[in-house]
């Protein structure tokens, strides 16, 4: 294993504040655009407490909803169907939207 030279790594990186500053302009522009269309947008999320993607992304959607007014609705509490491996998700009873939207993954 090659040792890491911290001084060289420091030359190829930027402080986090500078990185956030650089992406903030794109984020602010996206938020402004979303605000213009917020009343026409509905985001539907399928979520499960055990899902790592949900844990990471649902709070981001909550922030987007808060900042833009976009309506975000959640089908929460989905569970793995341990008795039927063909069924990906279940909520007793399973919402028909899971099959309608072919929900297999949350975020890719």
Note the pLDDT of residue 12: 85
Local structure of residue 79 (DSSP, 8 states): E
What's the mean pLDDT when you consider all of the chain? 78
Q: Which residue has the higher pLDDT, 11 or 89?
A: 11
What phi and psi values does residue 43 have, to the nearest 5 degrees? -110, 125
Q: Report the number of distinct structural domains present in the chain.
A: 1
Note the pLDDT of residue 72: 93
Residue 25 lies in a domain: yes
**pLDDT digits over 19-55, tens only?**
777 776 677 787 788 888 888 989 988 887 878 888 8
**pLDDT digits over 45-83, tens only?**
888 787 888 888 899 899 889 988 999 999 887 777 677
Residue 107 lies in a domain: no
Residue 1 lies in a domain: no
Residue 86 lies in a domain: yes
Q: Which residue has the higher pLDDT, 12 or 101?
A: 12
Residue 106 lies in a domain: no
Residue 108 lies in a domain: no
Note the pLDDT of residue 62: 92
Range of the domain at 24: 6-100
62 and 45 Cβ atoms separated by less than 8 Å:
no
Residue 84 lies in a domain: yes
Q: Which two tokens stand for residue 88?
A: 């990906």
Residue 81 lies in a domain: yes
């Amino acid at each position: 294993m090659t040792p890491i030279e911290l001084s060289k790594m420091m030359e190829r990186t930027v402080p986090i504040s500078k990185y956030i500053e650089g992406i903030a302009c794109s984020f602010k522009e996206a938020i402004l655009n979303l605000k213009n269309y917020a009343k026409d947008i509905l985001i539907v999320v399928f979520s499960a407490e055990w899902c790592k993607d949900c844990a990471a992304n649902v709070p981001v959607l909550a922030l987007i909803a808060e900042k833009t007014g976009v309506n975000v609705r959640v089908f929460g509490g989905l569970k793995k169907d341990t008795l039927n491996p063909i069924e990906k998700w279940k909520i007793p009873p399973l919402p028909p939207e899971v099959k309608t939207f072919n929900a297999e993954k949350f975020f890719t």
